[in-house]
């Protein structure tokens, strides 16, 4: 238990510290790198509460794909760092307000102010206990493909639409671009590819 | 307080920590020796392909060559370019090396011989192998050199592209197994080589192998470090130990992906014929032989094939492997469902 508690405090402290560094570091590349560190430690916290599947998906999706693209874009941009810092204090109150609102919402959701109907917490705990007895991959699969099937499909369709949208926005037909068409190359026969010319002696072509 | 030593190592947290540390060492040390000798075998294989002898001066048959190389790199001066971002410049090779090492925590070497028998082992491997790209991108950016940066961009695009098809390959395998646990993946393939997944999933095995060549930036996909255009790609500015870490990390990654291939498609620790022993140390030997075979194919490809052009590389990843692997996932699911072979979980 000591090791688990120690791991929790290490992960939690690093998550919060790197979250603060994302906002306050001077170089945007550092910000993205701290964001990655925060994702990573959040995944560690998920592992500690026994949600291994969510932890791995967090690392695969956010660290392995989303943050790579972030880093890619931020590294390519030529950002003037001092200019970026100028409005920092101006936006601080708005940012703090949003932060406080989010924190309050989470607290209401957890029933800190006693707003929850009685029994909700108990039923949540019961559901958690049931989940703990089977692998959590299977537990997620069981509700995702039964109770939330339509929502799951709709989420997939929304992502598909976004993907098609991105392709439509960037796809332009550019005339004059020579493309390699592998199919055509492979189906070319000897007759199409070369002609045999009988060259008369001393005549040339 | 603790009656026996066994009691201490299983119940006291300090004892458990010592056991975990020893387990990690028991995997890491042989792995590093394997990495060292992989560089040697690699060079010997290329040499044989080109009708040369390869390293044969240091020690008998040149067997001490990897250690001579290591010593040379260790004794060299570590040069950090003055315009480089020195912290990230030093961290990048460490990331590459570490991600190649920590993935081994879930690889089963035998029946029950595994550091952590994680229920989501396949996902863990996939997550860790997708982290390798950070070492490369950070190295390229922190070097503050155009060759390094170009190499890093190429590498990042390439690794992200081929991860997609590797993901689909993993999904087909876990559809057949019905579990994300790597030990269960191996156990599902028990009973002779005709039960291994490379036969029913042959197209996926080929896609997995080619994608792992691309993931490790090996020929014919070594565009990130193509010496004719980019000097040495993202490694251009590195020297001495940081360079050695990149080099070791790259080979450790190759061994890791070969181990993944062996577990997913070649039956892990299982013996090729059912009457041969596959328990205890025999399991480790079979597993090592399968990894060695895949690594030989890695070297063989490098000695044989020319480098792809960048647009050809992207075409292969997105227009060939992605649709084929996606189609095969659907096909496998359909065959399992309608053939009545859905694994019972």
Q: Is the peptide bond before B220 cis (omega within 30 degrees of 0)?
A: yes
CB of B16 within 8 Å of a chain A CB? The answer is yes
B45-99 pLDDT, tens digit each: 989 999 988 888 888 888 888 888 888 888 888 888 888 788 888 888 888 888 8
Q: Which residues contact A40 (CB under 8 A, 6 or more apart)?
A: A59, A63
Q: What percent of chain B has pLDDT over 70?
A: 96
Q: Percent of chain A beyond pLDDT 90? A: 20
Average pLDDT of span A68-89: 73
Provide the 8-state DSSP code for B110: B
CA distance A114 to B90: 51
* B131 Cα to chain A: minimum distance (Å): 6
pLDDT of res. B325: 92
Average pLDDT, chain B: 85
How many Å lie between the alpha carbon of B73 and the closest alpha carbon of chain A? 29
Which of A48, A56, A132, A170 best tests the B interface by mutation, with the highest count of B CBs <10 A? A56
For the cut 90, the answer to whether the pLDDT of residue A157 exceeds it is: yes
Q: For A135-146, how does the pLDDT look when each residue is reduced to its tens digit (9 = 90+)?
A: 778 888 888 888
Q: What is the pLDDT of residue A151?
A: 92
Inter-chain residue contact A59 with B153, CB threshold 8 Å:
no
Question: What pLDDT sits at residue B14?
Answer: 78
Please state whether the predicted TM-score (pTM) of the whole model is above 0.95. no
Residue B193 CA: distances (Å) to CA of B55, B267, B309 = 35, 8, 37
| Cross-chain Cβ contact A59/B17 below 8 Å | no
Nearest CB among B17, B120, B156 relative to A52 is that of B120
Give residue-wise pLDDT tens across range B100-144: 888 888 888 877 778 878 788 888 888 888 888 888 888 888 888
pLDDT score of B117: 80
Q: Which of A3, A65, A138 sits opposite B160 (nearest CB)?
A: A65
Half-sphere exposure (CA, 13 Å, Cβ side) for A122? 3
**Interface ipTM:** 0.80
Bridge partners (DSSP) of residue B113 are: B110
Chain B residues within an 8 Å CB radius of A63: 127, 130-131
Answer yes or no: CATH 2.60.40.10 is held by domain A1-80.
no
Contact yes or no for B204/B261 (Cβ under 8 A): no
CA-wise closest residue to B150 among B94, B220, B225, B92:
B225
| Selection from A12, A16, A18 nearest residue A35 by Cα | A18
Q: Do A180 and B315 touch (CB under 8 A)?
A: yes
Per residue in A18-40, pLDDT tens? 998 888 887 888 888 899 999 98
Tokens of B307: 């480098």
Cα separation, B170 vs B329, whole angstroms: 10
Q: What is the DSSP string of A66-131?
A: IHHHHHHHHHHS---HHHHHTTHHHHHHHHHHHHHHHHHHHHHHTTTTS-SPTTHHHHHHHHHHHH
Question: What are B224-253's pLDDT values in tens digits?
Answer: 777 777 777 777 778 888 888 888 888 988
DSSP, res B59: S
Q: Where are the domains of chain A?
A: 1-80
Q: Does A71 touch chain B (CB under 8 A)?
A: yes
> What confidence tens digit (pLDDT) does each residue in B14-52 have?
777 888 888 888 888 888 888 888 989 988 998 999 998
Q: What band does A86 get if pLDDT is binned at 50, 70 and 90?
A: low
Reported confidence tier of residue A123, pLDDT bands at 50, 70, 90:
low
Both tokens assigned to A101: 């609102």
A63 in contact with chain B, both atoms CB, cutoff 8 A: yes
Burial class (CB in 10 A: 0-12, 13-18, 19+), B163: buried
Binary contact (B13, A60; C-beta < 8 A): no
The alpha carbon of B100 is separated from its chain's Cα centroid by a whole number of angstroms, namely 7
Confidence label for B323 from pLDDT (cuts 50, 70 and 90): very high
Which chain B residues contact residue A52 at CB under 8 A?
118-120
> Distance between CA B82 and CA B142 in Å, rounded?
11
Check CB contact of B120 with chain A, cutoff 8 Å. Answer: yes
Give the three-state DSSP class for A174. Answer: coil
With a cut of 60, say whether residue B314 has pLDDT above it.
yes
Q: Tell whether the model's pLDDT for residue A81 goes beyond 70.
A: no
Most confident of A71-85, A127-141, B157-171, B183-197: B157-171
Contacts of B116 in chain A (CB under 8 A): none
Of A156, A169, A134, A111, give the one whose Cα is nearest residue A52.
A134
pLDDT tens per residue across span B252-274? 889 999 999 999 898 888 888 87
Rg (CA), chain B: 21
Closest CA to B100 of B22, B8, B32, B174: B32
CB contact under 8 Å between A52 and B16, yes or no, is no
Neighbours of B164 (CB within 10 A): 17
């Amino acid at each position: 238990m000591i090791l688990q508690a120690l791991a929790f405090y290490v992960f939690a402290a690093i998550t919060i510290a790197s979250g603060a560094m994302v906002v306050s570091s001077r170089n945007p590349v550092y910000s993205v790198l701290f964001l990655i560190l925060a994702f990573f430690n959040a995944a560690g916290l998920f592992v500690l509460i026994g949600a291994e599947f969510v932890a791995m998906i967090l690392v695969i999706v956010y660290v392995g794909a989303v943050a790579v693209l972030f880093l890619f874009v931020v590294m390519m941009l030529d950002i003037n760092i001092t200019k970026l810092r100028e409005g920092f204090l101006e936006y601080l109150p708005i940012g703090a307000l949003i932060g406080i609102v989010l924190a309050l919402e989470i607290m209401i959701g957890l029933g800190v102010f006693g707003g929850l109907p009685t029994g909700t917490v108990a039923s949540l705990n019961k559901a958690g206990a049931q989940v703990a007895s089977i692998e959590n991959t299977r537990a997620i699969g069981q509700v995702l493909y039964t109770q939330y099937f339509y929502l799951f499909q709709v989420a997939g369709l929304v992502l598909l639409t976004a993907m098609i949208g991105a392709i439509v926005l960037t796809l332009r037909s550019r005339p004059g671009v020579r493309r390699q068409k592998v199919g055509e190359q492979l189906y070319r026969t000897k007759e199409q590819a070369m002609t045999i010319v009988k060259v008369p002696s001393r005549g040339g072509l | 307080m603790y009656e026996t030593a066994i009691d201490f190592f299983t119940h006291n947290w300090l004892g458990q920590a010592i056991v975990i540390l020893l387990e990690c060492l028991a995997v890491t040390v042989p792995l590093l020796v394997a990495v060292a000798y992989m560089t040697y075998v690699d060079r010997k294989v290329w040499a044989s392909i080109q009708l040369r002898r390869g390293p044969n001066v240091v020690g008998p048959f040149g067997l001490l060559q990897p250690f001579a190389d290591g010593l040379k790199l260790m004794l060299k001066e570590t040069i950090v370019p003055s315009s480089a971002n020195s912290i990230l410049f030093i961290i990048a090779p460490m990331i590459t090396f570490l991600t190649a090492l920590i993935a081994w925590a879930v690889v089963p070497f035998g029946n029950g011989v595994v550091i952590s028998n994680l229920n989501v082992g396949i996902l863990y491997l996939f997550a860790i192998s997708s982290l390798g790209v950070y070492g490369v991108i950070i190295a390229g950016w922190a070097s503050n050199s155009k060759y390094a940066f170009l190499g890093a961009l190429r590498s990042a695009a390439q690794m992200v592209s081929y991860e997609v098809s590797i993901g689909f390959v993993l999904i087909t395998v876990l559809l057949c197994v019905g579990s994300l646990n790597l030990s269960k993946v191996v156990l599902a393939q028990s009973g002779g080589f005709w039960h291994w997944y490379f036969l029913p999933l042959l197209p996926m095995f080929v896609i997995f192998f080619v994608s792992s060549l691309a993931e490790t930036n090996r020929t014919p996909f070594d565009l990130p470090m193509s010496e004719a255009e980019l000097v040495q790609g993202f490694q251009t500015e590195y020297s001495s130990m940081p360079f050695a870490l990149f080099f070791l990390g790259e080979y450790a990654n190759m061994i890791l992906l070969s181990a993944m291939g062996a577990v997913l498609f070649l039956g892990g620790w299982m013996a090729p014929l059912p009457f041969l022993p596959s328990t205890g140390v025999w399991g480790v030997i079979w597993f090592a032989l399968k990894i060695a075979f895949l690594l030989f194919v890695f070297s063989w490809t490098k000695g044989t094939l020319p480098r792809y052009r960048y647009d050809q590389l992207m075409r292969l990843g997105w227009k060939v492997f992605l649709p084929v692997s996606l189609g095969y996932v659907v096909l496998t699911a359909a065959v399992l469902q309608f053939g009545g072979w859905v694994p019972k979980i």
